[in-house]
Amino acid sequence: MDSELQIGLIGVGVVAFVAIVGYNKWQERKHRKQAEQTFRSDHRDVLLEPGEARAEAADNARREPVAEEPEVRPGPTPAYRESAPKRMLPELPDALDARADCIIRIEAIEPLDASRLWNAQQQLLAGLSKPVRWFAFDDADNLWLQLSAQSAGTFHWFCVALQLVDRNGSIGEADYIRFSGGVQRVAEQFLAVPAGLPSRSEVLGSATELDRFCADVDVQIGINVISANGQPFHGTKIRGLAEAEGLVLREDGSFHACDELGNTLFTLCNFEPALFAAEEMRTLQTGGVTLVIDVPRVAQGGLVFERMMQFAGHLGAALNGVVVDDNRAPFGAEAAGMIRTQIQQFQEHMASQEIPAGGRLARRLFAA
């Protein structure tokens, strides 16, 4: 009896125990569901999801709103100086030609005042037998500016050029040494750096070769209109005929026929030593006049020669004169045809060397 009672109590205890455990499990599950509903988020678990899901979840997490912090006014931004981009070496100025100029470029570390440079170079480069030209590179406009005594502004790049040849011949070794040494001293004075100093042998060799070519084509052709009866030509009549043809009296004492750019095509000067002067033309009397064409300095020389010959004939008719050569022999159509052919040959030779007659380089090389 007692054993049955004990067994019964044990059974009731077991049932009660199971019921309690089951009730606890049910409560735990219930609270977990409530918690999941309360804190549920659309974010995926970046620790459990691989690859793109993890990256996307991390990106979403970065975009989560954060608590707004009080506004803080920024203080002065510290100045940072970026390293300046390296300046590119500019091309040579269009006005220069490596065949005809000894060229040195100069780079200034800090912008250099053009007027100071101009004043410094005048003394150091004085006494050279050929023209020297200075240029400064304008970074804003990307072009070279030729310098003069009136130039202003500051620049990083400069260029200086010594012309190798003119009608008086080519430069010599003394010119090269004075020029190259003078440019170096100018650069040192301003803590600048010369770039690409050409060698002495190269420069002098180029000068000699170019001078030889120039001598082969340096031709000036003149014809004269002299009095047919020994009576002098009057200055006022000469001036009137010249100006009617469009010629202009210049400071060199000659009337100039010019193209639309002001370049001389041919000149009219006094056959006698006296120069033409505006204030003396009223009283001037002369036995003749001379017309001259400078072949290497004139484009389309054949056409210009034809115009000059026509004007010479007009002068002869108006002044009672005759057209003659330097030996005072009559200058007829046959002689004119021969000269026209020679002009064409000279100018074709110049074109073959890429120095066209009447071009900018030719006018420099054949300057008086």
Which structural domain range is residue 154 located in? Answer: 101-214
Statement to judge: residues 238 and 354 lie in one domain: yes
Average pLDDT estimate for 38-44: 44
Dump pLDDT digits (tens) for 239-296. 999 999 999 999 999 999 999 999 999 999 999 999 999 999 999 999 999 999 999 9
Among residues 214, 234, 257, the one where a domain terminates is 214
- DSSP per-residue codes, 141-168: TTEEEE--TT---EEEEEEEEEE-EETT
* Integer Cα distance of 133 and 138 in angstroms: 16
In a domain, 55, yes or no: no
Residues 182 and 241 in one domain: no
- In three-state form (DSSP H/G/I as H, E/B as E, the rest C), the secondary structure along 264-310 is EEEEEEECCCCCCCHHHCCCCEECEEEEEEEHHHCCCHHHHHHHHHH
**Residues contacting 253, CB < 8 A, separation 6+:** 269, 270, 275, 276, 277
Instruction: Determine, yes or no, domain membership for 355.
Output: yes
Take residue 142 and report the two structure tokens written for it: 């990307």
Q: Mean pLDDT, the chain, as a whole number?
A: 84
Q: Is residue 168 part of a domain?
A: yes
Name the nearest CA neighbour of 226 among 181, 289, 270: 289
Domain count, the chain: 2
Q: Same domain for 302 and 182?
A: no
Does residue 128 sit in helix, strand or coil?
A: coil
Which pLDDT value is given to residue 90?
A: 86
Beta strands in the chain (DSSP E): 101-113, 132-138, 143-146, 154-163, 165-166, 169-170, 192-195, 220-227, 233-234, 248-249, 255-258, 264-270, 285-286, 288-294, 321-324
Report d(CA 57, CA 189) in Å as an integer: 66
Q: Looking at the structure, tell me whether residues 229 and 209 fall in a common domain.
A: no
In this structure, are 229 and 353 located in the same domain?
A: yes
Closest CA to 293 of 346, 240, 251: 346
**pTM for this prediction:** 0.72
- Average of per-residue pLDDT across 329-344: 94
Q: Which amino acid is at 120?
A: A
Weakest-pLDDT range from 76-85, 155-164, 223-232, 294-303 = 76-85
For residue 315, is it within any domain? yes
One domain for residues 359 and 225? yes
Together in a domain, 248 and 198: no
